[in-house]
Structure formats: C-alpha cells, structure tokens
Amino acid sequence: MTILLVLISIAILVLLIVWAKLNPFLAFLISSITAGFLLGLPADKIASSVQNGMGHLLGDLVIVIVMGAMLGKLVAESGAAQRIAGVLMKVFGEKHITWAMSLTGLIVGIPLFYNVGFVLLVPLAFTVSYQYRISAVYVGIPLLAALSVTHGFLPPHPSPAALVAQFEANMGLTLFYGFLITIPTIIVAGPLFSTLLKKVKAEPLKTFQAETRPEEELPGTTNSFFTALLPVVLLVGTTALSLNTPEDSFFAPLISFVANPGIVMIISVLVATYTIGLRMKFTMKHLMELYTNATKDIAMILLIVAGAGALKQIFTDSGVSLTIAEGLKNWSLHPLILAWLITAIIRVCVGSATVAGLTTAGIIAPLVTTMNVDPNLLVLSIGAGSLMFSHFNDAGFWMYKEFFNVSIKDTIKTWSVMETLVAVMGLVGVLILDLFI
C-alpha cells in the first residue's frame, strides 16, 4: 500500500508537469503536500517538512550552483570558450573533426550549464559545418553528447551536485569516477555514433551561426583552458590530498576547507574574475552585471532543486523511505540498476533530467545506509538514467530540432538515440566501476 501511495504521488507530479503544463517548482510543492496527506503525516507537520526539505538541500547547493553559473557565463562572454574550440579544431583537423567537437563539449561543458553550452557551442558547430561542407548533424551530435554527459554526470552541474548532497557522497570522488565513465560514454555516443549520421539532412538557419570575436580580443590559450578547468583541478586535487593526509596533520583542516565544493567554486570565480575578466579589460561593473544575469538564468533550477528537497523530506518524515528501502532489499535487481531504472522511467515521463534525478533521490536515498552501495556510484547511476531517451516532453529535444532544422523523424533517430546511448553507456560504466570499488 505504501509503495502504491508513493507511485500516486509521483504520478501526480508527472501529470502536473506533462499534462497540466505546471511549472515544475509548483508541481513539486503540490505533489509534496499531497504526498504528506496521503502518507498520513499530521497536517501541522507537512508545512514544516516542506520548508525543512527545501532549506536543507538548498543550504548545501546554493553556492555551488550559483558560482558555477557565474563562472560559465564569464567563460562564454569572455571568448574563452571560442578560444578552446578554435585550438582543438586546429589540433585535430578536418579528418578528426568529430573528436575535436567532443573534446570542446567536454571542456567547455564542465563550467557551463547545458542550455548555455548549447546556445553557445551549437553555432560554432554550424560554422564548422559550413566551412568543411559536411552535415551539421554529423558535427553537432558529438558536441551535444559531451554536453549531455557533463550535465548528467559531473558536478558542479545542478543534478549531480544535488545528488552528492542528498547521498552525502564525496564530490571530488564523484567527479573522478564520473570522468572515468564520461570518456568512453562520449566516444560511443559522439564520434562513433556520428559516423552513421553523415547523410542526415540538416539546414541550420543562418541566424544561429556563431558571432565570433576577433582573434585579438580572445583570452590566451593557457588562460582559457586554465580558467575553465580550474574547478576540476581543485576538486580532484584536494580530494587526492585529503585521502593521503593523516587526520591529525597540521594541513588536514586547511585541505578540508579548500576541498569544500562551495569554496572551490568561490576560488574559481574569483580567479576567473581576474584572468578572463579584469585582465581582458572588462570593467568590474560589467562583470557584476554578467554575474547578476547568470544568477537570473538559474533561479528556476534552484527552485526545482528546492522542490525536490521538499518531496524527499516528506518521504523521509513519513517513514516511507525506510519502508521502500526495506521492500527493495528483497528485489533481485542490483541497487545501482534499480536507481537507474527508476530515474529513466521518470525521465521518459517528465522530460526533465534534473526533475527525474532529484525525484529518484528522494525514493532511493535509504539504500545508501541499508544496502552495500557506493554513494558516489549511486549519483552517477541516477545521472545516467536521467538522460534516457529524450523526446517530445523535453525542451532539449525541441532546441535540437529547431536549431538544426531537421524533421521529427530525424530528431528521434539522432538526438533521442544519442541520449539513450549516453544513458546506457553510463550504466555500463557504473557497473564496471562497482566491480573494482
């Protein structure tokens, strides 16, 4: 009966988003309150559960997500992303152009949120397509595969960062494991898959061609790569140091402080403010305007994350999470496969990768303590499932179709299949890592 009530609560969430076209934040609030009543929480406790769930999750994430948005905005506006793409194109050449696009998507996609990365980099793919007279889909899919993987697998992107917080995983380790899975996933869903797409017809609108900056206005190569990758270097580096530093060491507290994801992102933004901001003749006023606009861009993402925290707290306070965890113990499915499957189903129903991942987290969280599963791998398993088969209810599906100006049929054959490959390869990678961790 308990599981049925949970399914009803999730069905309400799905219907509110898909059928009623309600804003996901409002849908989360309504489904959370409804779930509270259905699961027998006292009426006077429901509001406090919703508030506590929102506050607890946002408290862990606000700095990471907001700082990540600011860094991504500056990487885009300064021309650092254009510089990175240009350098990689020169290194790989026309013969290996899809590999260059994949690497561009990976590097630039780390600090950029998906929608920003899409709008910024897709026009660059069109420029390459026109220059070499090859299919825009053939060039673009490897780029978008890399952006999708970073969005679903790697902190500081909203969903994996939120999952790290919910499961009390280690962000540095999650990032390290994520990279081990990311590389083969991008190769399969990007350059290898794109070899089947050379004849797909696409006529991108000239409106979407990149507005390139003059060469002399771009940051230097070292500066661009260093600034874009600094969060990764700090997260992985401090995690490695903390694992090899005794707890009673004089440096342990300092390493622990710098290793905090929020501190890493603050340091990265401050460094970027100088390296690709002030140093590139941006005024402080202009930089602060960029940061303000970046915060506006991710305001709704923060609210969706908060809403997911509310639903999770309702499940926790009603005791349903423990009940489900006890029930799942008897399932023959591996917990990592189960987490992936639940996320994939919600993703296909709802369309939003972030909503799918965070909704699953509220259901599956007790597995971290009741079953022998690595929380870092659980983050990646859910992240992979959240990218499963993008279709008509996903904004990314329509962005791809309209930007590339392809038919619905070809959108499904290219975009939807690519997203499915990412999801399946992600799960395979997680299960392989689970054998050794």
E strand segments, 227-291: none
For residue 7, the model assigns a pLDDT of 81
Q: With 80 as the cut, is the pLDDT of residue 351 above it?
A: no
Render the burial of 362-394: b for 16+ CB within 10 Å, e for the rest.
Answer: bbbbbbbeeeebbbbbbbbbbbbbbbbbbbebb
* Cβ-proximal residues to 286 (8 Å cutoff; 6+ apart), any chain: none
| Nearest C-alpha neighbor of 109 from the set 121, 93, 100 | 121
Q: What is the mean pLDDT of the chain?
A: 87
Instruction: Kindly list the distances between the CA atom of residue 174 and the CA atoms of 7, 165, 184, 332, in Å, as whole numbers in the listed order.
Output: 29, 11, 16, 26
For residue 68, the model assigns a pLDDT of 84
Q: How confident is the model at residue 325 (pLDDT cuts 50, 70, 90)?
A: low
For residue 326, the model assigns a pLDDT of 62
405-426 residue pLDDT tens = 898 899 999 999 999 999 999 9
Alpha-carbon distance of 94 to 89, in angstroms, equals 8
pLDDT top residue among 380 and 395: 380
For residue 236, the model assigns a pLDDT of 78
Compute the Cα dihedral for 319, 322, 328, 334 and give only its sign: positive
Is residue 189 within 8 A of residue 418, CB to CB? The reply is: yes
Instruction: Average the pLDDT over 133-143 and give the result.
Output: 93
> What percentage of the chain reaches a pLDDT higher than 70?
95
Q: Which range of residues forms the domain containing residue 282?
A: 2-436
254-306 residue pLDDT tens = 988 988 888 988 999 999 999 999 999 999 999 999 999 888 878 887 888 88
For residue 322, the model assigns a pLDDT of 63
For residue 332, the model assigns a pLDDT of 77
For residue 328, the model assigns a pLDDT of 60
183-224 residue pLDDT tens = 999 999 999 999 999 999 888 766 555 567 888 889 999 999
Structural domains in the chain (count): 1
Q: How confident is the model at residue 176 (pLDDT cuts 50, 70, 90)?
A: very high
